[in-house]
Amino acid sequence: MSAVPSTVHLLFFYFFAAMTIASALLVVLLRNIVQSAFALFFTLFGVAGIYILLGADFVGVTQVLIYIGGVMILIVFGVMLTHNSYSVDIFNRLGTLVMGTISAIVTFTIIYYAIRQVPWRLIGYKASIPTTRPIGTLLMTDYLLPFELASVLLVLAMVGAAYLIRSELRVGKERKDRDKRGAGLERKDA
Amino acid sequence: MYEGLTYSTTFSSILPQVIIAAAIVVCAMFDAFVASKKWLVGIIALLGLGAGIAASMSLWGQNIVEFSNMLSTNDFSLIVSITVMIAGIVSVLVSLRYVDAIDGESGHYYLLLLSSVLGMLFLVSAMNLIVLVLSLELMSLSVYPLVGMTYERQASLEGSMKYLILGSFATAFLLYGIALVYSVIGTTNMYAIARVLASRRDLAVNVVMMAGIALILVGFSFKVALVPFHTWTPDAYQGAPAPVTGFMAAAVKAASFAAIIKLVIVVLSSYHVPVSGALWWLSAVTMFAGNIIAVLQKNVKRMLAYSSIAHAGYVVVGLVPGSAFGMSSAIFYLLSYTFTVTGAFAVITYLEKKDGTGNDLSDYSGLSRSHPVLSLIMSVFMLSLGGIPPTAGFMAKFYVFGAAIRSGYVGLAVFGILTSVVSLYYYLHVVYAMYFEEPEHATDVPVAVGISTGIVIALWGVIQLGILPSDIMDLAMKSVQSLIH
């Protein structure tokens, strides 16, 4: 354990940090929503890299699996399947730009100030030890209740989504029936 | 190698939760395998809730901490659990006809209602911030689809969508706040956080700690709709079917407030930065804005949505002093508001039509001619909301303002009394319309046993709390004592 990170460590950190910030800027500044979505890939990947550098290997891999593997794919599919998404100009109003810049600067100042102010507890740079086993053990012992609650939560989210979609299907069917009846009447009139 | 994997606990302390979870499974099975008679699912839900209340009563007086100090079953958690389960029973009773009419082919309605109750039961007994967030989400996530249940109406979906998006924002704020608190203190256990807060004075000037506590307060203010975090409420309350609105105004609000009360008693009372200043402003602005905007409303449901915002302000008045009496008065207020508002929305369900109309003030004019009993009952609920004796609403306001005055917050109490005088205008407007205006069209609603039973339960609560409040107030005092270690 040493108090100062190694040069390689630092190099990787700056690489991932630059990647995160640059691609995040692209997400906001690009005019095409599909390009923005692809830039978001690199933002999330950079964050995963920083997690791993911090010794949180499990969180880093989860970030890759869930955000890059799942959420990002969904976003890209959603964007591509949406009608006319290529031609939508999402970067159109000057007011949004000004307000966005101001709030970004204010937020950054607050966070920067807070980080500098607080006496953080430094634990030094340890050689990274795999965290998967302790996390798994904790999930099955001390954190069993939240773990189970999260499962219930996921099941209920699914039931809720199914509930909403089912009523949509039903309404669609009723409307089709009505249209069919309407068409039949017209034919009779003719 | 796996010696860490030993886990021993007794499940008796979470018996109510286990019963509700079992009822959810039975409801789901019944719904999947029986094609017709979906109202039977509602009966199963009623039985589950009844058994849950009985189990909660059997645990009364005990103080059990279980699951690695994550859940604490005590009088406080039990009194709120019983309240939300009573609200659940009334909501199911009121829904029996409504769900058949709107959504006859699905028993999922009751399933979602029960799972929301399950979330509330965990929420009120959670002693760990992780469990707190998960159960809060379980509660909210089950209600979002219920708001958008009547798919035919644009308003219903719009309300559901707004509720979902702003509710998720609220959770994000809450999580951010909890993460900041954890980064400073290093634990998510509420009693452990309180111990650290009490022993370290330097945390009073710690920016991250302050930001964390502030974000947690903002998150909860969203959930209970305090001004200026209330913008989702009117649309969600108006768009949702009347029984769901009643459930949201009563049970969801009571459970979220219970979480706030628990946080204030257990954690924030040890914090060297007094939060009562922030609560003072939140309550004053909420009482003012809620009541003033409610005066302008022509739709009874929307009016009650703003009234519900205003009532959240009155509950916070009880929290401002930070005294045990103030906390008990807030709990009493929640109980009285639960009974009153479920009853009021039960009456609204009677009159609401399938397409969501029938809620305007003009629909209530001359109601006393065709439905004298219903009008009388609605008048009682309106008087209780306005705080007129001998109803529950009067005693609740009396205790809350009494607690504020006793601790020297006379200005806030006087301001609250003034706003509640303003609120009388719109509550009595409904009564006036029912008794002294000519009916615009004939109203004829068939008698429904379920809704009538629900109304009777709510009416009993309103009268009981109004005439014999001291018994319930004693219970509220005991429940607050059970939280103080």
Q: Is the domain of A22 the same as that of A108?
A: yes
Residue of A nearest to B210 (CA): A114
Q: Do A24 and A49 lie in a common domain?
A: yes
Q: Which residues of B384-419 are buried (b: 16+ CB within 10 A; e: fewer)?
A: bbbbbeebbbbbbbebbbebbeebebeebbebbeeb
User: Tens digit of pLDDT for each residue in B142-152?
Assistant: 999 888 877 66
* pLDDT band for position A179 (cuts 50, 70, 90): low
Is B112 in Cβ contact with A167 (below 8 Å)? no
Q: Do residues B14 and B28 make contact, with C-beta atoms less than 8 angstroms apart? A: no
Would an 8 Å CB–CB cutoff place B158 in contact with chain A?
no
Of B112, B128, B130, the CB nearest to A160: B112
Residues 4-23 of B with CB under 8 A from A: 4-7, 21
In a domain, A67, yes or no: yes
Which residue from B minimizes the CA distance to A111? B208
Q: What is the pLDDT of residues B298-339, one digit of tens each?
A: 899 999 999 999 999 999 999 999 889 999 999 999 999 999
Asked whether residue B4 is assigned to any structural domain, the reply reads: no
Taking CB atoms and an 8 Å cutoff, what residues of chain B touch A150? Answer: 134
| Angstrom distances, CA of residue B369 to CA of A109, B358, B381 | 65, 17, 19
Q: Is B16 exposed, middle or buried (0-12, 13-18, 19+ CB in 10 A)?
A: buried
A-B contacts (CB, under 8 Å): 90
User: If you average pLDDT over every residue of chain B, what do you get?
Assistant: 89
Chain A closest-CA separation from residue B1 CA (Å)? 11
- Going by pLDDT thresholds of 50, 70 and 90, the confidence category of residue A188 is very low
Please give the pLDDT value at position B2.
46
For residue B78, is pLDDT > 90? yes
- B294-317 burial string, b = 16+ CB within 10 Å, else e? beebeebbbbbbbbbbbbbbbbbb
Specify if A138 maps to a domain.
Answer: no
A3 Cα to chain B: minimum distance (Å): 20
**Total residues found in chain B within this entry:** 485
Same domain, A107 and A23: yes
Shared domain check, A106 and A25? yes
Total domain count for chain A?
2
> Is the Cα torsion angle A83, A88, A90, A95 positive or negative in sign?
negative
Same domain for A111 and A152, yes or no, is no
Nearest CA in chain A to B207: A114
Give the one of B71, B138, B148 whose C-beta lies nearest to A156's C-beta.
B138
Mark yes or no for CB contact B135/A144 under 8 Å: no
Query: Does any domain span residue A182?
Result: yes
Contact check, Cβ <8 Å, A114/B149: no
Does position A91 have pLDDT exceeding 90, yes or no? no
Q: What number of CA atoms fall less than 13 Å from residue B175's CA on the CB side?
A: 11
- CATH number where A12 lies: 1.20.120.1200
What is the reported pLDDT for A2?
Answer: 54
Q: Which residues contact B284 (CB under 8 A, 6 or more apart)?
A: B313, B412, B415
Backbone angles phi, psi at B34, to 5 degrees: -110, 120
pLDDT at B5 over 50: no
Q: What is the DSSP letter of A126?
A: P
> Most A CBs within 10 Å: which of B207, B210, B355, as the mutation test of the A interface?
B207
Domain that holds residue A110: 7-130
Question: What digits encode the pLDDT tens for the residues B196-212?
Answer: 998 888 888 888 888 89
pLDDT tens, position by position, B253-262: 999 999 999 9
Pair (A23, A47) in one structural domain: yes
Are A150 and A185 in the same domain? yes
How far the first Cα of chain B sits from its last, in Å, is 37
Residue A143 has pLDDT above 70, yes or no: yes
The dihedrals phi and psi of A2, each to the nearest 5 degrees, come to -130, 160
Distance CA B118, CA B121 (A): 5
> Could you tell me if A81 and A171 lie in one domain?
no
Of the two residues B427 and A78, the one the predictor is more confident about is: B427
Decide if B141 and A159 are in contact by the 8 Å CB cutoff.
no
Structural domain harbouring B470: 12-483
Q: What is the spatial distance between Cα B399 and Cα B335, in angstroms, rounded to a whole number?
A: 13
Q: Does B346 touch chain A (CB under 8 A)?
A: no
In a domain, B400, yes or no: yes
Pair of tokens at residue B19: 């019963």
A168 touching chain B per CB within 8 A: yes
Looking at the complex, report in whole angstroms how far the Cα of residue A157 sits from the nearest Cα belonging to chain B: 7
The answer to whether the Cα torsion of B320, B326, B331, B336 is positive or negative is: negative
Q: Which of A145, A155, A166, A171 to mutate to test the interface with B (most CBs of B within 10 A)?
A: A145
My answer on whether A113 and A68 are in the same domain is yes
Query: What's the structural domain count of chain B?
Result: 1
Percentage of chain A with pLDDT > 70? 76
Q: How far is CA B361 from CA A176, B255, B296, B352, B463, in A?
A: 36, 30, 12, 12, 26
Residue A137 falls inside a structural domain: no
Band the pLDDT of A77: cuts 50, 70, 90.
Answer: confident
Nearest CA in chain A to B132: A146
Inter-residue contact B160 to B148 (CB < 8 Å): yes
pLDDT of residue A189: 41
- Residue A70 and residue A108 in one domain: yes
Q: Which helix (H) or strand (E) holds B72?
A: strand B71-73
Contact across the interface for A159 and B4, Cβ inside 8 Å = no
**A118/B206 Cβ within 8 A:** yes
Total-model pTM? 0.89
Quick check: is A73 in a domain?
yes
Cβ atoms of residues B204 and B179 within 8 Å: no
SS3 of A55, please? Answer: coil
Structure confidence at residue B358 (pLDDT): 78
Q: Provide the 3-class DSSP secondary structure of residue A32.
A: strand
Residue A22 belongs to some domain of the structure: yes
State the nearest Cα–Cα gap between A141 and chain B, in angstroms: 6
The mean-pLDDT minimum among A118-132, A143-157, B82-96 falls in A118-132
Contacts of A117 in chain B (CB under 8 A): 206-208
Domain membership flag for residue B5: no
